[in-house]
Amino acid sequence: MRMESKLINMGKQQNFKVGELMPGLSVDNVIFGFHDNQLKVLLLECMNHRDWMLPGGFVLKSESTDAAAERVLYDRTGLNNVYLQQFHVFGDPSRSRDSLMSSAMKSMELPFETDNWFKQRFVTIGYYALVEFEKVVPVPDSISASCAWHDTDKLPRLIFDHKDIIANALTSMRHHLNYQPIGYNLLPKEFTMKNLQSIYETILNRKLDRSNFTRKMLAAGILDKKEKLFAGGAHKAPYLYSFKKKEYLKVLKDGFNNEF
């Protein structure tokens, strides 16, 4: 086997030899952003058909799975040091049996060994990331036609089990909400209470009472109320808030809603 000498494209940054990669193991990132009071997810458009996929990649033999996910995130967004959370492993052998993907791979005319690499069964580790929308410059990888944000409630057709992976990421976040605050990584420095509430409503998939939400958030003691008002909107101008980083991290660590 001379497989080790073949190169696999791992994004625009680097190519790696097959022999340097963990065989059959990948990471897939569900990258969430927030814009227009809508939760968005970053997707790649496959080169040869109209389907989309999650930004993903392989794991180097020398790196941790977390590092692999960070690398993928960096390659697609240019961002470092963001909230990145492993949430589930997708290990069904049939998960990558996708006729569309296979035909796409075929039309790419990959060299034999690389083709075989892609065709093997993969176990993938799902990570979700929360990133600041404005800071992201989406970068497609070499096998993708484009890289773009999509509303989480209006997803395009996705390859493999990627739709399930996104749904699972949302459910995991919903559970994490019960013992962690959220928003620090999703929102810009200053934001309105409505922005924050919209994030919670999207993740929880239900409306929250405005008044009660404000009270609860302020009670958590992680917000700074600015004197400045939000400009540009129609109607009454809302206050701007920012997170108190120290307190936010403390609540993140010690628990938010400590149940039981």
The piece of 29-37, 59-67, 130-138, 221-229 that touches a copy of itself (CB under 8 A) is 59-67
CA distance 78 to 138: 8
> Is residue 138 involved in binding DNA (CB under 7 A)?
no
Could you give phi then psi for residue 167, rounded to 5 degrees?
A: -60, -40
Of residues 166 through 205, those in contact with a copy of itself by CB under 8 A are 175, 177-179, 200, 204
Could you give phi then psi for residue 241, rounded to 5 degrees?
A: -125, 160
Of residues 222 through 251, those in contact with DNA by CB under 7 A are 229, 233-239
Sign of the C-alpha dihedral computed for residues 146, 101, 28 and 2 taken in this order: negative
Identify the residue among 214, 222, 243, 248 touching DNA (CB under 7 A): 214
> Is residue 260 involved in binding a copy of itself (CB under 8 A)?
yes
> 162-201 mask for DNA (x: CB under 7 A)?
------------------------------xxx-------
CA distance 45 to 32: 17
Task: Give the one entry of a copy of itself, DNA, none that residue 234 binds, where binding means its C-beta sits below a cut-off of 5 to 8 angstroms depending on kind.
Answer: DNA
Least separation, in Å, of the C-beta of 50 and DNA? Answer: 35
The piece of 85-93, 109-117, 118-126, 208-216 that touches DNA (CB under 7 A) is 208-216
CA distance 199 to 130: 11
Angle CA 28–30–33, to nearest 5 = 150
> Is residue 116 involved in binding a copy of itself (CB under 8 A)?
no
List CB contacts of 122: < 8 A, sequence separation 6 or more: 24, 25, 26, 95, 96
Q: What is the dihedral of CA 156, 41, 16, 63, to 10 degrees?
A: -140
Task: Give the one entry of a copy of itself, DNA, none that residue 177 binds, where binding means its C-beta sits below a cut-off of 5 to 8 angstroms depending on kind.
Answer: a copy of itself
Task: Give the one entry of a copy of itself, DNA, none that residue 37 binds, where binding means its C-beta sits below a cut-off of 5 to 8 angstroms depending on kind.
Answer: none
Of residues 123 through 142, those in contact with a copy of itself by CB under 8 A are 123, 125
The piece of 83-91, 103-111, 146-154, 219-227 that touches a copy of itself (CB under 8 A) is 83-91
Q: DSSP labels for 157-202?
A: -BSTTHHHHHHHHHHHHHHHTTTS---TTTS-SSB-HHHHHHHHHH
**Contact residues for DNA (CB under 7 A)?**
192-194, 209-212, 214-216, 219, 229, 233-239, 257
